[in-house]
Amino acid sequence: MRFTSRLLALLGGGTAAVHALSGRPSGLLRPSERRELLQDVVTFDNDSLIINGERLFIYSGEFHPFRLPVPSLWLDVFQKIKALGLNTVSFYLHWGLLEGKSGDFHAEGPLAFEPFIQAAQEAGIYLIARPGPYINAEATGGGFPGWLQRIEGKLRTNATDFLDATNNYMANVGAVIAKYQITNGGPIILVQVENEYTEAVSGVVFPNGYYMQYIEDQLHEAGIIVPLVNNDAGPEGNNAPGTGIGEVDIYRAIAYNRYSDSYPLGFDCANPATWPSGSIPTAFRQDHLKDSPDTPYLINEFQAGSFDPPGGVGFEKCADLLNMEFERVFYKNNYAAGVTLFSLYMIFGGTNWGNIGHPGGYTSYDYGAAIKENRAVDREKYSELKLEANFLKVSPGYLTAVAATNYTVGVYNTNSDIVTTPVLGSNGSFFVVRHADYTSEASSNYTLNLPTSAGDISIPQLGGSLTLNGRDSKVHVTDYPVGSSKLLYSTAEIFTWQTVANETVLVVYGGPNELHELAVVGSATGSIVEGDGITFQSQNGSTVAQWTTSTTRRIVQIGGLYIYILDRNSAYNYWAPELGSGAIIVNGPYLVRNASVDGSTLSLSADFNKTTTIEVIGVPSGVTSLQVNGQTLNASANAQGSWTASIAYSPPTLDVPDLSTATWYTIDSLPEITAAYDDSLWPNANHTNTSNPIGSPLKTPVSLYGSDYGFNTGSLLFRGHFTASDATASTLYLSTQGGEAYAASVWLNDTLIGSWAGNSVAASYNQNLTLPALTADAAYVFTILIDNMGLDENYDVGADEAKDPRGILDYTFASDITWKITGNFGGEDYADRLRGPLNEGALFIERQGYHQPDPPLSAFTTGTSPFEGLSAAGVAYYVTNFTLALPSDEWDIPLSLVFTNSSSSTVAATAPYRSLIYVNGYQFGRYTSNVGPQTEFPIPEGVLNYNGENWLGVTLWALDSDGASVPALNWTIGATPAWTGREPVTAVEQPAWTERVGAY
Ligand code: IPT
Q: How does pLDDT run across 810-841, given as a tens digit for each residue?
A: 999 999 999 999 999 999 999 999 999 999 99
Query: What is the pLDDT confidence band of residue 902, given thresholds at 50, 70 and 90?
Result: low
**Residue 263 alpha carbon, nearest atom of ligand 1:** 15
Q: Is residue 804 part of a domain?
A: yes
Domain count, the chain: 4
pLDDT at 401 over 60: yes
Q: Same structural domain for residues 462 and 541?
A: yes
CB 727 within 8 A of CB 774: yes
Residues 343 and 293 in one domain: yes
pTM over 0.85: yes
Both 286 and 150 in one domain: the answer is: yes
C-alpha–C-alpha distance, residues 809 and 613, integer Å: 64
Q: Ligand 1, atom 4: nearest CA belongs to which residue?
A: 137
Is residue 6, in this structure, part of any structural domain at all?
no
Is there a domain that residue 989 lies in?
no
508: domain CATH number?
A: 2.102.20.10
Residue to mutate (ligand 1; options 196, 229, 265, 792; most atoms within 8 A of CB): 196
Q: Please tell me whether residues 663 and 635 are part of one structural domain.
A: no
257 Cα nearest atom in ligand 1: 14
- Is residue 84 within 8 A of residue 393, CB to CB? The reply is no
ω into 697 cis (within 30 of 0) = yes
Residue 507 has pLDDT above 60, yes or no: yes
Kindly give the distance from the C-alpha atom of residue 289 to the centroid of ligand 1, in angstroms, as a whole number: 23
**Residue 725 belongs to a domain:** yes
**Would 838 be classed as within a structural domain?**
no
Model confidence pLDDT, tens digit, residues 852-893: 999 999 999 998 999 999 999 999 999 999 999 999 999 999
Q: What's the gap in Å between 97 CA and the centre of ligand 1?
A: 19
Give the DSSP letter of residue 381.
Answer: H
Least confident of 306-320, 643-657, 868-882, 897-911: 897-911
Residue with CA nearest ligand 1 atom 13:
256
What's at 570, amino acid-wise? S
- The verdict on 71 and 92 lying in the same domain is yes
886: CATH: 2.60.120.260
500 and 607 housed in the same domain: yes
Amino acid at 18: V
Counting ligand 1 atoms within 8 A of each CB, the residue from 194, 199, 301, 794 with the most, and so the one to mutate, is 301
pLDDT for 11 equals: 45
Rounded to whole angstroms, the Cα distance separating 441 from 131 reads 41
Same domain, 342 and 432: no
Cβ-based burial of 580 (10 A; exposed 0-12, middle 13-18, buried ≥19): exposed
Q: How far is the CA of 657 from the centre of ligand 1 (A)?
A: 39
Residues 53 and 81 in one domain: yes
Same domain, 685 and 628: no
Decide which of 357, 378, 399 is a domain's last residue.
378
Lowest mean pLDDT among 29-33, 380-384, 459-463, 835-839: 29-33
Q: Does 413 share its domain with 538?
A: yes
Whether 22 is covered by a domain: the verdict is no
pLDDT value of position 500: 80
Q: Which residues are catalytic?
A: 196, 301
Which SS3 state, helix, strand or coil, does residue 346 take?
A: strand
Q: What's the average model confidence in pLDDT over 500-524?
A: 94
CB 517 within 8 A of CB 511: no
Verify that 411 and 534 share a domain, yes or no: yes
| Angle at CA of residue 823, ends 706 and 770, nearest 5° | 75
* Nearest alpha carbon to residue 788 among 719, 722, 847, 717: 717
How far does the centroid of ligand 1 lie from the alpha carbon of residue 137, in Å?
Answer: 6
pLDDT bracket for residue 1 (50, 70, 90): very low
**What's the pLDDT score for residue 38?**
83
* One domain for residues 114 and 204: yes
Domain membership of residue 488 as a residue range: 407-647
Query: Are 346 and 486 in contact, with CB atoms under 8 Å apart?
Result: no
Helix (H) or strand (E) holding 474: strand 473-482
Q: Is residue 270 part of a domain?
A: yes
- Indicate whether 385 belongs to any domain: no
CATH number of the structural domain spanning residue 208: 3.20.20.80
pLDDT tier for residue 254 given thresholds of 50, 70 and 90 = low
Q: What is the mean pLDDT of residues 158-168?
A: 97
Q: What is the pLDDT of residue 903?
A: 55
Residue type, 289: L
Using the mean position of ligand 1's atoms as its centre, give its distance from the Cα of residue 795 in Å: 9
**Across the chain, what does the average pLDDT equal?**
93
Q: How many CB atoms lie within 10 A of CB 437?
A: 14
Residues 111, 114, 115, 120: is their CA dihedral positive or negative?
Answer: positive
Residues with CB under 6 A from ligand 1: 135-138, 195-196, 233, 254, 256, 263, 301, 307, 345
- What is the reported pLDDT for 259? 41
Q: Residue 19's CB: how many other CB atoms inside 10 A?
A: 14
Predicted confidence band of residue 951 (pLDDT cuts 50, 70, 90): very high
Residue 295 pLDDT: 87
> Is the predicted pLDDT of residue 25 greater than 70, yes or no?
no
Region of 333 please: left (phi>0), alpha (psi -120 to 50) or beta: alpha
Residues 935 and 928: their CA atoms lie apart, in Å, by: 9
